[in-house]
Structure 1
Amino acid sequence: MDKLEMRHTLLAAKARKQMNWEQIGKAVGMSPVWVASACYGMNSASDDVAHKIADVLGVDKEVADALTTFPTKAWDEAIPQDPFIYRLYEVVGVYGETLKDVVQEKFGDGIMSAIDFTMEVDKIEDPKGDRVLLTLSGKFLPYKAW
């Protein structure tokens, strides 16, 4: 089973079970954001976690095995049409150079890791309209000179 078939199987099972990522993450003892990313095929799970996900969603061993395979982290390079995803592109387009400059002033010349990385999604209730809080936490990796 490839990652695309795995993704379709897992998302169908999630819908059939009427579960959300928070519930699935809690059931397997992992971050709901990370579990969603693994189910979408962008991360690989350990054998233990893959089987927990498969058990929670009621899918077979073939799906669990696909969860353990290393992904090719590629995506469509076209500008996304989905409004939520497009807005994230917009944030990076408008603030990307600013964030890079501010981070490099604080840390030096380098990048934020997306490997040694965590992300949280929280809802902040606000009388003017609820807010989305995205917390991205990546290890700073300095560039080396040699």
Structure 2
Amino acid sequence: MTPIMSKSEAAELVVAARLRGGHTWADLAAAIGAPLVWTTAALLGQHPMAPEQAAKICGFLGLGERVAESLCRQPSRGSAAELMSDPTVYRFVEALSVYGPALKELIHEEFGDGIMSAINFRVDIARRPDPDGDRVVVTFDGKFLDYKW
């Protein structure tokens, strides 16, 4: 019996097929009718896809059933240490290091004792033109979960 392909190997094949096919991540999200950031994260191995989504995206990219099978597996979420030091990713770490305590205080002041869910969660990215250089707008949209005792 052949082992199930690792999520990292499947992700590498998806990226190669996307680049060689001249597709954007938005093209892939549109192909399965799912949100852009979620689709990108799922194809990079951070979320399981429904079998129909995996089959559709593999058909779109010309990838086989082994990739689709891997895309459906439950992931071990998180990123490798070397990725966390990538300048783009690290800026998010830096921003949360600086603003995380203030956001925590403001969430507690506005909502009470609780947290923002990262499970019942949406994230989006947009470009906003600016005379000093285009701005990256990242929106985190998480359900408030209050602590119940």
Q: TM-score, normalised by structure 1?
A: 0.94
* Alpha-carbon distance, 1:31 to partner: 0.9
Q: Measure the CA separation in 1 of the matches of 2:81 and 2:104.
A: 21
- 68, 79, 82: which one aligns with 2:86: 82
Q: Measure the CA separation in 1 of the matches of 2:105 and 2:83.
A: 24
Q: Measure the CA separation in 1 of the matches of 2:116 and 2:81.
A: 21
Counterparts of residues 1-146 of structure 1 (less than 5 Å): 1-77=5-81, 80-145=84-149
Cα RMSD (Å) of the superposition? Answer: 1.4
Q: Counterpart of 1:42 in 2: which secondary structure?
A: coil
Kindly tell me the number of residue pairs found equivalent between the two proteins: 145
Task: Indicate the larger mover: 69-78 or 111-120.
Answer: 69-78
- AA paired with 1:136? F
Does the C-alpha gap of structure 1 residues 110 and 77 become closer, same or farther in structure 2, counting only changes over 3 Å? farther
Q: Measure the CA separation in 1 of the matches of 2:50 and 2:83.
A: 32
Unaligned runs of 5+ in 1: none
- AA paired with 1:14? R
Q: Measure the CA separation in 1 of the matches of 2:106 and 2:38.
A: 27
Does the C-alpha gap of structure 1 residues 79 and 93 become closer, same or farther in structure 2, counting only changes over 3 Å? farther
Q: Measure the CA separation in 2 of the matches of 1:68 and 1:95.
A: 35
- AA paired with 1:64? A
**What is the aligned-residue identity percentage?**
39
- AA paired with 1:82? D
